[in-house]
Structure 1
Amino acid sequence: MTKPLSFDDLQSDFELFEDWEDKYRMLIELGRTLEPMPDALKTDATRVRGCSSQVWFFAEPRADGRLHFLGDSDAHIVRGLIAVLFLLFQDRTPDEILAIDARGKLGELGLAGHLSPTRTNGLYSMVGRIQALAQDAASA
């Protein structure tokens, strides 16, 4: 059984590629690994605002207080970005999620410099949505 990919693993893999086309391909492949999000959860309430693509996030609280996220997009590269965010945030407690410096971690991958401005804004909108879901869960 192989160990699940971690954010640090992804960062190491990214460093092996010099060409951003290879990194984009890796992101798209990573997006294909997302747990399916049921269409019934793709509603206006779960839609992420600020993304040029259609993006949805749903947080399922677990018995131990951790949040399990489901997410989807109609764009392959954005599905890959969702998968990257899930490497940072998936199955953590709300306090752990809120303590993560997502901009710093994503900056280490160099994504912002290689995504369009609208994709970069959308990426940070997705981070904001995850943090808002964690904040809601923490205050519930």
Structure 2
Amino acid sequence: MTIDEIRDNFALLDEWDDRYRYVIELGRTLDPMTEDEHSAANKVQGCASQVWLSRDIDRRNGEPVLNFKGDSDAHIVRGLIAILLALQSGKTAREVLSADPIAVFDELGFREHLTPQRSNGLRAMVERIKNDARETLAETT
């Protein structure tokens, strides 16, 4: 699912209860992570829920492209991961670093509808993805 499709679907839903249900549905669309990917190295620190993000780097066509997988033990958080991956996965490291996913989450109205703990977790996930992009750039220069 693309971020534009997610934006369009959000615009159709007036009630936050419906939007939360949609976010949970998005979480169910995540590609499953293997047991090995649920490792300490992939665990995101700073999240109240358990969250894992793994990175795969496609180096076939010049600048490396980052592909991410994610998982959480919380349904809403899985949905937030799905939105974050729609924004960041499949992009070059430079594109990941220049993007502002928090602004998109704010645009969708999450700033007012996430607990402070979940907002901190979301920022931790964004920072983890940006760190992965920085590492990827450092490895290629």
TM range (shorter): over 0.9
**What is the deviation of 1:34?**
0.4
What's 1:33 paired with?
Answer: 29
User: What amino acid is the match of 1:128?
Assistant: E
Q: What runs of 5+ residues in structure 2 fail to find an aligned partner?
A: none
- Report the Cα distance in structure 1 between the residues aligned to 2:25 and 2:88, rounded to whole angstroms: 19
- Report the Cα distance in structure 1 between the residues aligned to 2:118 and 2:107, rounded to whole angstroms: 17
What's 2:40 paired with?
Answer: 44
User: What amino acid is the match of 1:117?
Assistant: P
In the alignment, structure 1 residue 59 sits paired with structure 2 residue 55: yes
What's 2:82 paired with?
Answer: 83
User: What amino acid is the match of 2:16?
Assistant: W
Report the 3-state secondary structure (helix = DSSP H, G, I; strand = E; otherwise coil) of the residue aligned with 1:56.
strand
Output the TM-score relative to the length of structure 2. 0.93
Deviation string 1:24-67 (CA, Å, 9 cap, x unpaired) is 00011000000111111111111101100000111100123101
**What is the deviation of 1:70?**
1.1
Deviation string 1:82-132 (CA, Å, 9 cap, x unpaired) is 000011001110001001011211111111210111011101110010101
Output the TM-score relative to the length of structure 1. 0.94
Q: What runs of 5+ residues in structure 1 fail to find an aligned partner?
A: none
Q: Percent same amino acid among aligned pairs?
A: 44
Q: How many residues align?
A: 136
Cα RMSD, aligned residues only: 0.9
User: What amino acid is the match of 1:50?
Assistant: G
What's 1:7 paired with?
Answer: 3
